[in-house]
Amino acid sequence: MRDQITVLRHYELMTILHPEVAEDQLGGELERISGHITGAGGVVLETLRDSPWGRRRLAYPIRSGGRDVRDGFYIVFHFDLTPNQVEEMERELRLNSRVIRYLITNYIPRPVEAPTDEASAAPAADNDVAADDDLGDDITEDVFSDDAIDSAEDTEET
């Protein structure tokens, strides 16, 4: 029997927490959700709860706890987890009464490239013109010449 290799994948979890969660209890709820991730064998890479996230108006009311909820706390988690453990984590999120909605998706982090030299770091000035910049001038002159416009109008009339 082969040993199974555990491969961690990057995931993003968007949660909407119930608006009745007090600001001072929000940290505890974040720890609880992070605990669901680590309990399933994952590693939390980043938690986003500040601008543009935080407490926001929902697009439509959501029935939660017998009443319609119109606001919620949006929180995004980036984490690594094995694919076979995602189902266990979703079960924990469904059982958490403070979580109104959640969505787990694959996440591909974008690498941030730093400029290598001063020329690439500074944007080109308006008066800087490349030597080969005049290649397209002939095409635009032909397309927008009076003869080309007159011939286009003649074909439209027929």
Instruction: Say if 145 falls within a structural domain.
Output: no
At position 50, the amino acid (one-letter code) is D
Q: Which domain holds residue 70?
A: 9-106
- Residue-wise pLDDT for 48-80, tens only, equals 877 667 888 999 999 988 889 999 999 999 999
Amino acid at 149: I
Give CA–CA dist 15/100, Å, rounded.
Answer: 8
What is the pTM (predicted TM-score) of this model? 0.64
* Domain-located, residue 118: no
CATH code assigned at 58: 3.30.70.60
> Lowest-pLDDT range, 30-39, 44-53, 74-83, 140-149?
140-149
Question: What gap in Å lies between CA 32 and CA 102, rounded to an integer?
Answer: 14
Mean pLDDT, the chain, rounded, equals: 77
With respect to residue 123, please indicate whether it lies within any of the assigned structural domains: no
Number of alpha carbons in the 13 Å side-chain half-sphere of residue 144 = 6
State pLDDT tens for residues 108-127.
Answer: 877 777 666 655 555 555 55
Q: Is residue 138 part of a domain?
A: no
Domain assignment of residue 135, yes or no: no
Task: Give 155 or 86, the one with higher predicted confidence.
Answer: 86
pLDDT band at residue 32 using 50, 70 and 90 as cut-offs:
very high
**Cis-peptide, bond into residue 52, ω within 30° of zero:** yes
Q: Structural domain tally of the chain? A: 1
- Judge whether residue 132 has pLDDT over 60: no
In a domain, 19, yes or no: yes
Secondary element (H or E) of residue 137: helix 137-143
